[in-house]
């Protein structure tokens, strides 16, 4: 799984830039709302809700906001109806892109997503055109400064917890799990006293597409434009960008 850190760089860059906490919390609340509406308001009995709540907490969303979203989903909804869709396409120079949305107006969202692709040298494709390039995985990140464990000790604990793989760099331990094992692995590591910089079930590309500076700049503009859309929940891509280029663009 070499390259996951590169894939995650743009996510971290965008997260560091994004001062619009209200927009982020709105998207997280919508995801919680959908999970609670479809599977009930008890995270212990609804694994999708549990994952959505964990994602919200990892982004420092207040508990009151989380509770309010669950209560809205399980109470009087005033006719609110969201649908989940995933759009697939290609960014600049053939970078594979998947866009997960929650929307109350499919036609509006489809037009907005298509416009973002067209404006940034990309094109929207048919369902399935890039999905085969991605694998769904649980993903946990531990800041090495928060633990005394060295790489060998950490690896043993990760294996014992049931994870599939671990990658290490100077700053972090990155842990990967099967989607169905994510909650169990996270719980086991939490019992061991570990806290997480990131924790989610997400999509990882099996191959990467490298771009030069001009291509990376176009791709970043596409990502920014999509993330500014309130209906867009997640964006997955297989861009391989040089860290120096990303730092310069940020």
Is 43 part of a structural domain of the chain?
A: yes
Q: Can you give the pLDDT at residue 30?
A: 86
Is 11 part of a structural domain of the chain?
A: yes
Is 108 part of a structural domain of the chain?
A: no
Domain of residue 45 covers: 4-74
Q: With a cut of 70, which residues of the chain have pLDDT below it?
A: 1-21, 75-80, 250
Is 59 part of a structural domain of the chain?
A: yes
The DSSP 8-state label assigned to residue 170 in this structure reads S
Q: Can you give the pLDDT at residue 20?
A: 61
β-strand pairing of 165-168 with 172-177? antiparallel
Neighbours of 119 (CB within 10 A): 12
Main-chain dihedrals φ then ψ at residue 82, nearest 5 degrees: -105, 150
Q: Can you give the pLDDT at residue 124?
A: 95
Q: Show the tokens assigned to 23.
A: 């927009």
- CA-angle at 96, arms to 92 and 100, nearest 5°: 115
Question: What would the pLDDT profile of 163-200 be if each residue is shown by its tens digit?
Answer: 999 999 888 999 999 999 999 999 999 999 999 988 88
Q: Exposed, middle or buried by CB within 10 Å (0-12, 13-18, 19+), for 238?
A: buried
Q: Can you give the pLDDT at residue 1?
A: 42
Q: Exposed, middle or buried by CB within 10 Å (0-12, 13-18, 19+), for 56?
A: buried
Can you point out the beta strands (E) in 106-229? 123-124, 134-143, 165-168, 172-177, 198-205, 209-210
Domains: count for the chain: 1
Q: Can you give the pLDDT at residue 80?
A: 66
Is 249 part of a structural domain of the chain?
A: no
The CATH number of residue 69's host domain is 1.10.10.200
Q: Which residues of 125-159 are buried (b: 16+ CB within 10 A; e: fewer)?
A: eeeeebeebbeebbbbbbebeebebeeeebbebbe
Is 9 part of a structural domain of the chain?
A: yes
Is 26 part of a structural domain of the chain?
A: yes
Is 111 part of a structural domain of the chain?
A: no
């Amino acid at each position: 799984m070499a390259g996951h850190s590169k894939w995650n760089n743009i996510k971290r860059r965008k997260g560091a830039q994004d001062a619009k906490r209200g927009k982020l919390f709105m998207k997280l609340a919508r995801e919680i709302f959908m999970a609670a509406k479809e599977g009930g308001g008890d995270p212990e009995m609804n694994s999708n809700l549990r994952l959505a709540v964990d994602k919200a907490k990892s982004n420092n969303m207040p508990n009151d906001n989380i509770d309010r979203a669950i209560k809205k989903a399980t109470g009087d909804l005033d006719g609110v109806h969201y649908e989940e869709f995933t759009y697939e396409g290609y960014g600049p120079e053939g970078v594979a892109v998947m866009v997960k949305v929650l929307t109350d107006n499919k036609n509006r969202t489809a037009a907005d997503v298509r416009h973002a692709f067209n404006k940034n040298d990309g094109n929207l494709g048919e369902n399935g055109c890039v999905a085969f390039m991605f694998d769904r995985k649980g993903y946990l990140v531990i800041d090495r400064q928060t633990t005394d464990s060295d790489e060998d000790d950490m690896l043993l604990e990760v294996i014992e917890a049931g994870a599939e793989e671990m990658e290490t760099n100077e700053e972090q331990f990155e842990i990967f799990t099967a989607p169905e094992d994510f909650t169990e692995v996270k719980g086991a590591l939490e019992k061991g006293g570990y806290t997480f910089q990131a924790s989610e079930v997400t999509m990882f590309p099996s191959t990467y597409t490298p771009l030069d500076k001009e291509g990376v700049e176009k791709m970043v503009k596409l990502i920014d434009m999509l993330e500014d859309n309130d209906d867009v929940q997640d964006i997955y891509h297989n861009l391989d960008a040089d860290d120096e280029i990303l730092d310069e663009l940020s």
